[in-house]
Amino acid sequence: MPLNSKFKQRLPWFLLIVVTVIFALLFIHRYLFFEKTIDFFNKVNVIWMGNTTQKVVALTFDDGPDPIYTSQILKILKKNHIPATFFLVGKNAQKYPKLVQEEMKSGYQIGNHTFSHPHLNTLSEAQISLQLVKTDQIIQKITGQKPLFLRTPYEELNENILNIAHSDHKQIILSTLTLEHQLSKTPKAKAERVMGMVFPGAIILAHDGRLNRHSTVKALPYLIRGLQAKGYRFVSLPELFRK
């Protein structure tokens, strides 16, 4: 039999082997891709709003505690019976433990907002972990409880942050609307901006520290009265998630 004839007879088998190997490699690649994707999404424990049609919102504060603004905000919240969550910067909590105790005794939720408020997306996993663990230890020493909720500074996220939050069983809380906005020049304008954009399940971000927050303190009564007039009710984060 001529050589070319033998090659032609073997060619289908050769092609079958090549095609089988290619499909096997594609299958393995796709499997690894989906496995990595699933693993990534298993680490994503991020919430930025409540899944509800009820007219409820959650109020949250970052960057405290602060001896000037936190005290004023607590008075407003208590007077109006408004629940809230305070995401604490560890070094501030360490400096003002009595304010943390007051927040806790008044029934407010307390979350982790890192120790020194850095850009976490520029840090290694070890550095991110140190920021969270150190703050957890400070808060736990003051309140007796380790915070479950985490809000990252500037609401930054990347794979390192998700990995550490996942390993530490932290629920990452982002926000839907921010009370402080550069286009809103007055306290009333800040409140009206949020009232115009609000929807059921919104998580509202405000601040009680780090910068001058006089305008935030003044905007808070406008916001509370305005949202209540629109039929909204303020709830804690755990209650928002239950709905």
Which pLDDT does position 23 carry in this prediction? 61
Res. 42: pLDDT tops 80:
no
Residues 58 and 39 in one domain: no
Which pLDDT does position 182 carry in this prediction? 87
Domain tally, the chain: 2
- State the chain's mean pLDDT as an integer: 90
Task: List the alpha helices (DSSP H) in 45-113.
Answer: 69-80, 90-95, 97-105
Res. 33: pLDDT tops 90:
no
pLDDT band for 45, please (50, 70, 90 cuts). Answer: confident
What's the count of helices (H) and strands (E) in the chain, helices before strands?
9, 9
Residues 142 and 181 in one domain: yes
Weakest-pLDDT range from 45-49, 83-87, 190-194, 221-225: 45-49
Res. 207: pLDDT tops 50:
yes
Residues 14 and 72 in one domain: no
Give the C-alpha separation, 242 to 58, whole Å: 12
169 is a catalytic site residue: no
Q: Identify the domain containing residue 5 by its residue range.
A: 1-43
> For residue 232, what are its two tokens?
């909204």
Residues 139 and 157 in one domain: yes
Mean pLDDT of 124-129: 98
Catalytic residue among 63, 66, 207, 208: 207
Residues 234 and 171 in one domain: yes
With residue 177 as reference, give the H or E element that holds it: strand 177-178
207 is a catalytic site residue: yes
Residues 103 and 215 in one domain: yes
Residues 114 and 24 in one domain: no
Catalytic residue among 62, 66, 136, 208: 62
Q: Is 114 left (phi over 0), alpha (psi -120 to 50) or beta?
A: left
Q: Say what the pTM is.
A: 0.84
Residues 127 and 68 in one domain: yes
CATH code at position 220: 3.20.20.370
The fraction of the chain above a pLDDT of 90, given in percent, is: 80
